[in-house]
Amino acid sequence: MRKQAMAAYEYLVPIVKGWSTEMSIDVTSTGVQVHGGMGFIEETGAAQYYRDARILTIYEGTTAIQANDLVGRKTARDGGLVANAFIAQMRATAAELSDAAPDLRAIKAPLVEAIDAYEAAVNYVVANYNSEIRSVFAGSVPYLKLAGIAHGGWQMARAALAAARSLKAPGADVDFLRTKIASARFFADHMLTSVPGLGKSVVQGAPGVLAVPAESF
C-alpha cells in the first residue's frame, strides 16, 4: 500500500507542478483583464500577481521539463501502470454520476470523453516510447495539460458528488454546496471539453512539430 501511494505521489508531482503553474498564469492574466485598463496600474495589485505567477513555470523546472518527466519517468517507465490505475478510479467516479441529480449527470459525458482521451494518450506514449521517442516527446506538453485537466475534472466531480450528498444533511450550508456543484459543472463544460483536442495533439501532432529540421532554427 505504501509503495502504491508513493508511486501515485511521484506520478502526480509533474502534473501538480507543471499544470498548476501554467493555470496560475491564465488565472492571473484574467485577473488583469477583469480590471480593464486599471489592470496595469500597480495600485490594483493585479499586475504583480501576474508577474509572480509568470515566474512559477520557470522556478518549478519549466513546463517542458515537467512534461518530459511525466512522459518518460512517470508514464513510459512503468508501462502506464500508475496512469491506468488513476484512469480506473476516474471511470468509477463517472459511473457514480449516472444516478445523480441532473447537474451531476451533465458532468458525466465530458468527463468520460476526457478519460477516453487520457487513456488513448497513455496508450500512445507506452506503445511508441521505444520506437518513436521523438514523436512521443513532441506531444509532452499537451500530454501534461491533458492530464492536469482530466485529474482536475475528476476531483471536481468527486467534490460535486460529496456536495450533493451533504445537501441532505441537517444544517447543511446549501449555498456553499450548490456553488461547489455549479463550479464542477462549469469545469466540465468549459475545461474538460478541451481534453479530446489535446489528446489529438499528443497522438497525431508529432509530424507538425518535427516537420521543420533543427538546422532551420
Active site residue 96: no
Alpha-carbon separation of residue 3 from 7, 8, 89, 90, 161 (angstroms): 6, 9, 18, 21, 29
Cell readout for 59 is 522556478
Burial 152-167 (b: 16+ CB within 10 A, else e): bbbebbebbbebbeee
Helical segments of the chain, H only: 2-34, 46-59, 63-71, 81-96, 102-128, 133-138, 140-166, 174-190, 195-204, 206-210
Alpha-carbon separation of residue 198 from 11, 122, 180, 183 (angstroms): 19, 12, 26, 22
Catalytic-role residue among 10, 22, 43, 60:
60
- Expressed in angstroms, the distance from the first to the final Cα of the chain is 48
DSSP state of 205: -
61: left (phi over 0), alpha (psi -120 to 50) or beta: left
User: Known catalytic residues?
Assistant: 60
